[in-house]
Amino acid sequence: MFPTNAWYVACTPDEIDGKPLGRMICGERIVFYRGEGGRVAAVEDFCPHRGAPLSLGYVENGQLVCGYHGLVMGCDGQTVSMPGQRVRGFPCNRSFPVVERYGFIWVWPGDPAQANPSTIHHLEWAESSEWAYGGGLYHINCDYRLMIDNLMDLTHETYVHASSIGQKEIDEAAPRTTVEDDCVVTARHMENIMAPPFWRMALRGNNLADDVPVDRWQICRFTPPSHVLIEVGVAHAGKGGYHADPQYKASSIVVDFITPETETSIWYFWGMARNFKPDDTALTDSIREGQGKIFAEDLDMLERQQQNLLAYPERNLLKLNIDAGGVQSRRIIDRLIAAECAPAAEPVTLIGGGAA
């Protein structure tokens, strides 16, 4: 179960560079490609002729050509042409609203009439020249909500990422979760601690001493359908923490776009945006590599957790204070799913009567 009337990250531009990409999103088999004028398009990955996947074809003059018998598919799902055939009566494929923005391709797998690109959250770091971004993609066999839980409860860093970003003090600082409209925020502040290896590296990258106490923060923000952006950072202790002057801190935004493939698998777009040394591409690569290794530590845990949950469907999991971020996020998701499933309100005609 996932909200379908929502913008999900489908892929990154390099994935549709010169060739179509077949990818299942929320259970829908979709082919993504660049159509006329380089505009991104998304239609069902199913040739109306004989069912071949259109993603095995190619793009020619901004049109998607089926690699089996040459049917030319339009961005609207209507067949444009086919050698030797009249195509007017061909059945129409579904097409999906799709937008390229912020360095990602966004797709709306639900009702196209409700798709409004302006509802894609603004991502300042993706547009400003003061920021740099690097990231990657993992395929993970787990329910997308397990990944949301993971990211909204960073106490797991102490255990899963013990050698990089984890530290005992995370466990000891109780997080605080608040909900405003459809946004859940779980914040944790740790004061006067020593920075773990990743942050010592970041401090050095900012030309700051890495062997002095720091204040550290993690502010996780969930927004529907399944995006989690996390402000993270450290400042030399006593300089104001999260609000410290930039000269005393190293900070960044952990970016997590979680796109369901099926009920039990996801496309996980992860990355990090930083507002220091934005032009240092070697640093970007180095951070990407480090983050990739850290986030890979979660894969096995999440997949094995998923298998356990499937094997013990009757067991109720605990909802502790540290789980509040995930619990509140799931509550919002449930509400959105329920709204999609609800029958549209019908107009009611009252007919006056006597005994009734």
Q: How far is the CB of 340 from its own copies (least distance, A)?
A: 22
Residue 219, strand partner residues? 187, 231
Q: Which is nearer to its own copies, 90 or 131 (CB)?
A: 90
Residue-wise DSSP of 305-317: HHHHHHH-TTPPP
Contact 110, 100 (CB under 8 A): no
Q: How far is the CB of 51 from its own copies (least distance, A)?
A: 5
Q: How many CB atoms lie within 10 A of CB 17?
A: 9
Q: How far is the CB of 45 from its own copies (least distance, A)?
A: 7
Q: Which is nearer to its own copies, 143 or 215 (CB)?
A: 143
Q: How far is the CB of 298 from its own copies (least distance, A)?
A: 9
Q: Which is nearer to its own copies, 205 or 260 (CB)?
A: 260
Could you give the C-alpha distances from 190 to 205, 220, 298, 331, 342, in angstroms and in order? 21, 15, 23, 28, 43
Q: Which is nearer to its own copies, 162 or 209 (CB)?
A: 162
Give contact residues for its own copies (rule: CB under 8 A). Answer: 29, 45-46, 48-53, 56-57, 65-70, 82-85, 90-91, 149, 153, 155-156, 158-160, 171-172, 174, 300-301, 304-305, 307-309, 311-312, 315-318, 320-323
First-to-last C-alpha distance (Å) of the chain: 41
Q: Which is nearer to its own copies, 94 or 239 (CB)?
A: 94
Radius of gyration of the chain (CA): 24
Tokens 């042409």 locate to: 81
Tokens 């199913």 locate to: 46
Q: How far is the CB of 145 from its own copies (least distance, A)?
A: 11
